[in-house]
Structure 1
Amino acid sequence: MKLKPTNGLITSVSGSVVLITFAEAMPQMGELLALGGETEDLMVVVGAEDQETVRALILGEASRYARGIQVKRINQVLTFPVGQQMLGRVVDAFGQPLDGGPALVGKDTRPVERVARSSVGQAGVSRQLIVTGIKIIDLFTPFVAGSTMALFGGAGVGKTMLLTELLHNVIRTEPGKTVSVFAGVGERSREGLELWQALTKSGVFASTSLIYGQMGETPVVRFLTAQAASTLAEYFRDELGKNVLFFMDNTFRMAQAGNELSAMMGVLPSEDGYQPTLESEMAHFHERLASTAKAQVTAVEAIYVPSDDMADHAIQAAMPYLDAVVVLTREAYQQGWLPAIDILASTSTNLTPTVVGEGHFRAALAVKKVLEKARGLERIATLMGEAELAKDDLLTLKRGRKLRNYFTQNFNVAADQRGVAGVLVPLQQTIADAQAILDGHFDGVPEQDFLYIGAAEESRHGQK
C-alpha cells in the first residue's frame, strides 16, 4: 500500500500501545496522530522503534485500532485548556467536561508535556505557615506555603478524607488570591462525586478545578491526568500570578499507570518490578510544581502504601520531594483515632523554631517524647498490669493516652456521614492545650473525655 508522506500504517497493537510505520516525514516526540484522519481517535508519539517506526499511546478506546489502518499526522501536540474558566469545573485529562457543563471549546490551551521550570526563581520565597485547623497536622507536621506534604497509608485508613478536609479548610483562608487544583488519579469515581458535593456545599468550589482520571480509565489517561493538572497549576502560577493549592489523590496510582505502560511497551522492569523510569517520572512531576518568586505552589498528595510497606520503591521514589510526611496506620484506625495518624512516624522539615516559633517547636517535641515513652509503658501495662508501674510511669502513661485522644477530631467533610459537625481549632489553642495536658492541668479528667473534642477545656464538661 502506497502511503502519503504524512500518513503512517499501524503494524502492531498491544493494549494501549501501537507501532506505526512511516515511509517518510517521521513524527516528533509528543506529536498527535489521528486514526484515519478522524481527530476523535488520537494517539500521542512516545518513542521510536527504528528509523521508520514510532511507538504511540492510544488516548481513547482501543477497540477501533487494528493492523493495516492508516494514521495521519495532524501537526498538533497534546494540550489542556487553561484559564479562569477552569475554576468551578470538573474535567478529564483532555479537558472534556465531566460535570454536565458547557464544552471548553476555543479556549486558551497549553501543552501537557512541558519542561520543568528552573528552580533559580525560587530564591527568596517566604515560608508562611498555613493553619489548617486540624490539631494533629498543625502541631506535628505544619503546613507551610510552597512546601509539599504527603499522606501515606494503606487502603481504607482515611487518606482521601484527610486530603479533602485539608482542601476544604485551607482554600477558605485566602479567597480570591489562592486557587486550588485537584488531580484525581486512579481512584473511585464515587470519591470524586463526594468531593464535588462537599466543596459545593461549603462554597469553595468556585475557586477549585477538578481533573479526574478514575480507576476505570486506561493507564494512558490515568498517567496523563497528573500531567494535565500540573499544566493547569503552572498556568495559574506563571500567567495569573496566583498561589496554587495542588492536591493529588493518588500519587502511587500515577506510578502504577506508568508501570503498566512500561510493561505494554515491552520495557524490562527494574529489580524491584517497577519501570526503570520511575525516578525520572517522579522528578519531572514534582519539579513542575515548584514555587517561584511570583507565586507559590503548595502541594498535598495522598500516596497509597502497597501492603503497608513504606520501603516499597514507589513510596521511596517520592520521598526526596517531600517536606512533610504524614503516616496513617491501620493500628491507629482500629483504635478509633481519626485522623488515623501515627504521630511518632510522621515528620516535617518545617518543624523548626525558625519556621513555627520556639513555643510551637518545644511543645511538639515534648508531646512526642511523652507519647514515645507512653507507647513503651503501654506494652508493659498490657503484660503485667498498670499496678506494676511506678507512680511517675503511670502518670506518664495516662497523660500519653489523653494526649493521643485529644488529637482526634471531627471533620467538616464527614459531617453528613457521621452526623456530627466538624470543628476547627486555632493553632495557639492546640499548643496551649497540649502544654496544659503535659503540665498536669487535666490529670483529673478521664481519658475518654478527650476523644473528638475541640479545645481541651471541653473535656471537663463531657462535650463531644
Structure 2
Amino acid sequence: MASKATGVVGKVRQVIGAVVDVQFGDHLPAILNALETTNVGNRLVLEVAQHLGENTVRCIAMDSTEGLVRGQEVRDTGAPITVPVGPGMLGRIINVIGEPVDEEGPVDAIEMRSIHQPAPTYVEQSTEAQILITGIKVLDLLAPYAKGGKIGLFGGAGVGKTVLIQELINNIAKAHGGYSVFAGVGERTREGNDLYHEFIESGVNKKGGGEGSKAALVYGQMNEPPGARARVGLTGLTVAEYFRDQGQDVLFFVDNIFRFTQAGSEVSALLGRIPSAVGYQPTLATDMGALQERITTTTKGSITSVQAIYVPADDLTDPAPATSFAHLDATTTLN
C-alpha cells in the first residue's frame, strides 16, 4: 500500500527514455507523487505513474534524463507536483514544474498548488450564457463564441491556428479587464518568444512582471520531453484556476491541445500500456477529460478557453481531435 511518508530516499533502477524506475526500501510513493533528484546539477522532477510490485515505482520525467545513472538517489516529496500561483505570475514565464525561465529572478508566489485538482462539482458550476465579442467580424457573425465556454480552433499544418489565437489574444486580452494565461504545449519556441515580446511591446505585460501585467505564460514546447508536454497544460490551468477562484474572468489560451495527447501517446508505450486505435494511448478519453473538465465557469468566476487543435492528416475522425469535440462549446475549422 502507498505510504504517506515524505523525504524517503530511493534509488534509480533503470532509465528507458523519458521513463524511470525507482526502487525504495520499504516505502511505496502514491501515484502522481513528485520525486526529486539532481541531474547534471539541475533539479529533475519525476512523477509516479505506476506501481511495480511492493517497493518499486515507474515514473515519467519532467525534463531530460540524459546523464541519469543507476543507483542515483531519488527523494519522495510526499505530494504531487506543486507550482506557484498568484498575481506574481503575471508577466512571467514558467515551465511545467513552476520554475521561471525568463531569467528575471524568482517568482513572487502567494501559495503553491498541486497541478492535479478535482473538477468543480455540478453545484459549483455556472450556467449563465453570454456571447464573447472577439472583434473578428466573421466569427462574431457566423460562429459566435460563448463567454466562459471552451472554443476549439481545428486545422491541419500551416492553416493559421496560432495566428488566429494570437489575433484573439490581441483583440480580447488587450481590451479585457481581467487576466489571461497562455499555455504553450508542444509548439514552436519561436512563437512563444514572439508572443512574450509582443505582450511587453503592447503594454499587456511589464518586463519582469509586476504591477500592470495582465498575462501569465506557461511553456513546455517542442524541445521538451513528453512528460513536460503532457503536464504543462495542467500547470497553466492551475494558474488560471487561482485567478478564477479569486472572482476574476480569466482567458485561458492553449496552443496546442493535440500535443498534449501526442505526449501521452509517447509515454504510454514506454509505460507498457497496449496501444488503442491509431496507436494512441488506451487512456486517451480519460486524459482529455481530466484536463477539459477543470476548464469551467463557477459561481466565483469564469474561465473562457481558446484551444488550437491540430488535425493530423486533415482527418477530423482521428481519435485525438474527435475526443476534443465532445468537450467544446464552439468550434471553428480552418483549412
User: Would you say same fold, with TM above 0.5?
Assistant: yes
Of 279, 302, 305, the match for 1:299: 305
Determine the C-alpha separation between the residues in 2 that align with 1:98 and 1:72: 24
Aligned-pair Cα RMSD in Å: 1.9
Number of the residue aligned with 1:308: 314
SS in 2 for 1:29: coil
CA deviation vs aligned residue, 1:322-356 (integer Å, no higher than 9, x gap): 11110100xxxxxxxxxxxxxxxxxxxxxxxxxxx
Q: How far has the Cα of 1:317 moved from its partner?
A: 0.6
Verify the 8 A CA contact 1:29 1:46 in the aligned structure 2: yes
CA 1:28–1:39: 2 relative to 1, 3 Å:
farther
Verify the 8 A CA contact 2:85 2:109 in the aligned structure 1: no
Indicate the percent of aligned positions where both proteins have the same amino acid: 40
Unpaired segments ≥5 residues, structure 1: 330-464
Q: How many residues align?
A: 321
Number of the residue aligned with 2:192: 192
CA deviation vs aligned residue, 1:280-337 (integer Å, no higher than 9, x gap): 01111011111101111111000111111111100101011111110100xxxxxxxx
Q: How far has the Cα of 1:241 moved from its partner?
A: 1.1
Find out whether 1:166 has 2:168 as its counterpart. yes
Q: How far has the Cα of 1:119 moved from its partner?
A: 2.8
Number of the residue aligned with 1:22: 24
Of 87, 98, 113, the match for 2:101: 98
Find out whether 1:222 has 2:229 as its counterpart. yes
Unpaired segments ≥5 residues, structure 2: 1-6, 206-212
Q: How far has the Cα of 1:108 moved from its partner?
A: 1.7
CA deviation vs aligned residue, 1:40-79 (integer Å, no higher than 9, x gap): 2332212201222111122223023222333232334311
Verify the 8 A CA contact 2:254 2:306 in the aligned structure 1: yes
Verify the 8 A CA contact 2:88 2:108 in the aligned structure 1: no
Please report the TM-score for the alignment, with normalisation by the length of structure 2: 0.91
The structure with the largest strand share of the pair is: 2
Determine the C-alpha separation between the residues in 2 that align with 1:33 and 1:51: 17
Number of the residue aligned with 1:7: 9
Q: How far has the Cα of 1:265 moved from its partner?
A: 1.1
Q: How far has the Cα of 1:259 moved from its partner?
A: 0.5
Determine the C-alpha separation between the residues in 2 that align with 1:159 and 1:105: 33
Please report the TM-score for the alignment, with normalisation by the length of structure 1: 0.66
Which amino acid in the other structure matches residue 81 of structure 1?
P
Which amino acid in the other structure matches residue 104 of structure 1?
V
Number of the residue aligned with 2:37: 35
Structure 1 runs (4+) deviating above 4 angstroms are 36-39
SS in 2 for 1:263: helix
Structure 1 segment 45-444 matched on structure 2, within 5 A: 45-104=48-107, 107-123=110-126, 125-175=127-177, 178-205=178-205, 206-238=213-245, 240-329=246-335
Verify the 8 A CA contact 1:82 1:107 in the aligned structure 2: yes
Determine the C-alpha separation between the residues in 2 that align with 1:70 and 1:208: 38
Higher relative contact order structure (alpha carbons within 8 Å, sequence separation ≥ 6): 2
Which amino acid in the other structure matches residue 250 of structure 1?
N
SS in 1 for 2:78: strand
The structure with the largest helix share of the pair is: 1
Determine the C-alpha separation between the residues in 2 that align with 1:36 and 1:169: 43
Verify the 8 A CA contact 1:227 1:285 in the aligned structure 2: yes
Q: How far has the Cα of 1:20 moved from its partner?
A: 1.7
Which amino acid in the other structure matches residue 180 of structure 1?
S
CA deviation vs aligned residue, 1:246-273 (integer Å, no higher than 9, x gap): 1000000000001001022121101321
Determine the C-alpha separation between the residues in 1 that align with 2:301 and 2:332: 25
Which amino acid in the other structure matches residue 181 of structure 1?
V
